[in-house]
Amino acid sequence: MGRTTRRGRCERVRIDTQTRTLGVIGWPVEHSLSPAMHNAALREMGLNWAYLAFAVEPERVAEAVAAVRGLGLVGLNVTIPHKQAVAGLMDELDDAASALGAVNTIVRSEDRLIGFNTDGPGFLRSLQERGHTVEGRRVAIIGAGGAARSVAYATARAGAASIDLLNRTAEKAEAVARLAQEKGTARRVNTSGLEGERAREAVSSADVVVDCTSVGMYPNVNEGPVVPGQWLRPGQVVVDLTYNPRETTLLRAALEQGAEVVDGTGMLVHQGAISLLHWSGREAPVEVMREALLAALAR
């Protein structure tokens, strides 16, 4: 059976009494790319599951989480601004969700709710698929928000040789540094602002530079780059977590300097694929998810 959607796409739908439900909660959530990505994967995997987007007001998060049990949902993804609140509502947390105090994936196991955070593992896989690792490497992480915390935690756990944390508001980088220091084995964890010699040295000497800020994100696509392009060099891998646009001002500058670039779509696909692995116990079709994501981004 086919159905033409509001946006004119024709998608196969198969909703019946056996259909199991899952989805994403956020506020707002209408711009989420997760339904496109996950429903494409579910069709490919032959699962009679439907992935929906639920707009949940902040004061109703506990009710939404209770509905996972009440309605017998497979689970949920959790996006801004609910990741922290949901962490306090779980029966169990994985290591990352516990350390970060933030959940992006809820798995229901009978009546128990288990909270995972797949952002950091998704970041590591997005590097791996391009033949890179942070293990034993010097890593510079720019930003100190939720995404930076996930990346810093994963990078510290994965055995980076050193981690430099740079943020516009330098004090905020201190909290992220503590997380990286406590949870990892890096020989050196430093913090700095975005300007000055210390910042330049940290970025220029890094093997891997990860921009976890929202600088250059749609609609401010001409903003940035977050650090001067001249600080980048050939031999470096420069990652920007922003996925809209895929080529940010930082990645354009990195390409001009001869560095290798990785855009934010890889992390987005892989964090979703790992969520789906937690829900289904099966490896997700990453390329199908990527194709659906890129098509949704192009609309």
- The binding site for ligand NAP (CB under 6 A) comprises 119, 143-148, 167-169, 172, 212-215, 217, 226, 241-243, 264, 267-268, 271
Report, in Å, the least distance between residue 281 CB and ligand NAP.
Answer: 23
Q: Tell me which residue of 105, 200, 201, 96 sits closest to 157, measured CA to CA.
A: 96
State which residue, 5 or 169, has the beta carbon closest to ligand NAP: 169
Catalytic member of 82, 83, 149, 270: 83
Q: Indicate the DSSP class of residue 129.
A: T
State which residue, 60 or 168, has the beta carbon closest to ligand NAP: 168
At position 112, the amino acid (one-letter code) is R
Report, in Å, the least distance between residue 14 CB and ligand NAP.
Answer: 29
Query: Distance between CA atoms of 202 and 187, rounded to whole angstroms?
Result: 14
State which residue, 124 or 215, has the beta carbon closest to ligand NAP: 215
Query: Distance between CA atoms of 255 and 260, rounded to whole angstroms?
Result: 7
Report, in Å, the least distance between residue 213 CB and ligand NAP.
Answer: 3
Report, in Å, the least distance between residue 85 CB and ligand NAP.
Answer: 15
- 172 in active site: no
Report, in Å, the least distance between residue 118 CB and ligand NAP.
Answer: 10
State which residue, 162 or 213, has the beta carbon closest to ligand NAP: 213
Structure tokens at 88: 């306090």
How far is C-alpha 198 from the geometric centre of its chain's CA atoms? 28
How far is C-alpha 293 from the geometric centre of its chain's CA atoms? 14
Report, in Å, the least distance between residue 69 CB and ligand NAP.
Answer: 27
Partner residues linked to 242 by β-bridges: none
State which residue, 108 or 285, has the beta carbon closest to ligand NAP: 285
State which residue, 51 or 243, has the beta carbon closest to ligand NAP: 243
Q: Which residue is nearest to ligand NAP (CB)?
A: 145
What residues are annotated to the active site? 83
